[in-house]
């Protein structure tokens, strides 16, 4: 018994016609009849009821039809998988990320992807934290990137890496001459803060409360780029992921100082919709993230 015979049988059941099944399989009606007769001989019972108007399956034929459809569908999947393995991975994958995971942070991922899968395109959407979760859950993005990831229904969280945080100020600010800055030194200093709903802001507020520090937020913003511009203008200092300020530090428009109390960092996580099948392009992007996480920061 061959798959072609099973397909012809299914086509007869679905179309209710030997002639139509013959057309679909590019054979003669006699050839279809011979295949059906061979199946009936194999199982020693009638599989089809023939009438003047239509062909319908018998109870045994109905059971064989359901089983054959499963077999044919699975075989088609296997064939597709084999064909994909024989071709180069290509396609586009949408990644939704919070603003404060900047292009510098994702540069290592992009380099890894170009090296391993040059025909895979990673499209970035910069979004607010809650919007990243929504994008992944609703299927608008295959992968999400958030800070301080929190469990949420319908989402799997994969650890990515920790972002080192630093006190960032303008070159003419008094902090610029210090080797390190204590968290307590921020008390009363004009401070450029993240938006109150941002997870990084919430984490920093907890830190300030633990240290009994009174922070003076003169501006609150949801975009790390605008925070950096405000700090460059001398409107205040900020606590930012060090990776997001590398370009400005190199250009001399910003100065970053570590905390005197020791390193402070924030966890970055990857979001994948629970139970979602990732196509080969998305799987390649996810693997690039995993490999990039193994590359040390150039802090």
The pLDDT assigned to 36 comes to 92
pTM of the entire structure?
Answer: 0.67
Which of 238-242, 280-284, 294-298 has the highest mean predicted lDDT (pLDDT)?
238-242
Condensed to tens digits (0 to 9), the pLDDT of residues 173-210 reads 999 999 999 999 999 899 999 999 899 999 999 999 99
- The pLDDT of 136-156, averaged and rounded, is 92
- The pLDDT of 117-145, averaged and rounded, is 91
Domain at 162-266: CATH architecture: 3-Layer(aba) Sandwich (3.40)
- Which of 65-74, 75-84, 112-121, 158-167 shows the lowest mean pLDDT across its residues? 75-84
Give the C-alpha separation, 136 to 259, whole Å: 35
- Of residues 217, 220, 290, 299, the one with CA closest to residue 264: 299
The pLDDT assigned to 78 comes to 83
Same fold, 91-161+273-294 and 162-266: yes
Condensed to tens digits (0 to 9), the pLDDT of residues 85-108 reads 767 788 889 999 998 886 667 888
Give the C-alpha separation, 108 to 93, whole Å: 17
Condensed to tens digits (0 to 9), the pLDDT of residues 245-289 reads 989 999 999 999 999 999 999 999 999 998 887 888 899 999 999
Express as a percent the part of the chain with pLDDT over 90: 60
Domain ranges (residues) in the chain: 3-85, 91-161+273-294, 162-266
Record the tokens describing residue 55, joined without a space: 């062909």
Give 173: exposed, middle or buried? Use CB within 10 Å, 0-12, 13-18, 19+. buried
Strand partners, 144: 96, 271
Element (H, E) at 14: helix 3-15
Give the mean pLDDT of the chain: 89
The pLDDT assigned to 104 comes to 65
- Which of 54-58, 81-85, 178-182 shows the lowest mean pLDDT across its residues? 81-85
- The pLDDT of 160-167, averaged and rounded, is 92
- The pLDDT of 163-171, averaged and rounded, is 95
Contact 188, 195 (CB under 8 A): no
CATH code, 91-161+273-294: 3.40.190.10
The pLDDT assigned to 175 comes to 96
Distances (CA, A) of 143 to 49, 99, 132, 135, 140: 52, 15, 9, 9, 9
Contact 132, 160 (CB under 8 A): no
The pLDDT assigned to 297 comes to 57
**Best CATH choice for the domain 3-85 from the list 3.50.50.60, 3.30.479.20, 1.10.1840.10, 1.10.10.10:** 1.10.10.10
Give the C-alpha separation, 161 to 180, whole Å: 24
Residue 156 has pLDDT above 70, yes or no: yes
Q: State the sign of the Cα–Cα–Cα–Cα dihedral 173, 178, 182, 185.
A: negative
């Amino acid at each position: 018994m061959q798959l072609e015979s099973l397909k012809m049988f299914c086509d007869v059941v679905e179309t209710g016609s030997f002639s139509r099944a013959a057309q679909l399989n590019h054979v003669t009606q006699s050839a279809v009849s011979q295949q059906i007769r061979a199946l009936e001989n194999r199982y020693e019972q009638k599989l089809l009821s023939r009438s003047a108007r239509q062909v319908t399956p018998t109870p045994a034929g109905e059971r064989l039809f359901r089983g054959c459809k499963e077999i044919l569908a699975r075989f088609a999947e296997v064939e597709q998988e084999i064909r994909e393995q024989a071709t180069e991975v290509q396609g586009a994958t949408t990644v939704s990320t919070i603003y404060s995971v900047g292009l510098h942070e994702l540069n290592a991922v992009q380099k890894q992807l170009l090296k391993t899968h040059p025909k895979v395109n990673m499209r970035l959407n910069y979004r607010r934290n809650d919007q990243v979760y929504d994008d992944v859950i609703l299927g608008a993005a295959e992968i999400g990137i958030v800070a301080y990831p929190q469990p949420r229904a319908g989402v799997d969280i994969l650890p990515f890496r920790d972002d080192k945080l630093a006190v960032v100020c303008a070159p003419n600010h008094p902090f610029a001459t210090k080797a390190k800055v204590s968290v307590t030194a921020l008390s009363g200093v004009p401070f450029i803060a993240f938006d109150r709903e941002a997870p990084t802001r919430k984490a920093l507020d907890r830190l300030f409360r633990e240290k009994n520090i009174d922070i003076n937020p003169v501006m609150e913003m949801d975009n790390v780029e605008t925070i950096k511009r405000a700090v460059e203008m001398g409107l205040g200092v900020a606590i930012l992921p060090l990776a997001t300020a590398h370009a400005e530090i190199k250009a001399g428009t910003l100065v970053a100082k570590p905390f005197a109390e020791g390193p402070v960092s924030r966890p970055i996580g990857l979001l994948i919709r629970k139970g979602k099948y990732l196509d080969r392009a998305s799987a390649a992007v996810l693997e690039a993230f995993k490999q990039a996480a193994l590359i040390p920061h150039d802090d």
